[in-house]
Structure 1
């Protein structure tokens, strides 16, 4: 028998008294419940961090490609091969 699907997960958070008091004031001013405020704040934090992780991943890909190009350019054999290929292409076009 399969386990029932859970739509919600309960998490417990321990707050300092001062933080809880400040949180309650903010929620009261905004006219929202503590739960809805916390869910929104967590959602915003997740989106911000996921975006940052995607940016970092993209930057790492660019850096990896650039390093690979520099390493290939520093390899004399690879450079000679590219030069021969380039010259060969030009000579083929001339004929």
Structure 2
């Protein structure tokens, strides 16, 4: 949870010790949680990119009601206060 940024930093440190070199923490709304926000942290070994196939996503050949490539890009942006806390 975003209230626990120190804990997220500790978790990322431990993942680094386990050989993971890249991390991406993604916050998302979770109404049943007291602050209304939760997060997930992804970790990768090797390639440091968490990019998705943006061109393929934008050229999808089927209709979706909610999903767009622009939305997918937007949800990958880390809020400034989280970014600052996780770099510190």
TM-score, normalization: structure 2?
0.25
Instruction: Decide which structure has greater helix share.
Output: 1
**Greater gyration radius:** 1
Instruction: Decide which structure has greater strand share.
Output: 2
- By relative contact order (CA 8 Å, sep 6+), the higher-ranking structure is 2
TM-score, normalization: structure 1?
0.24
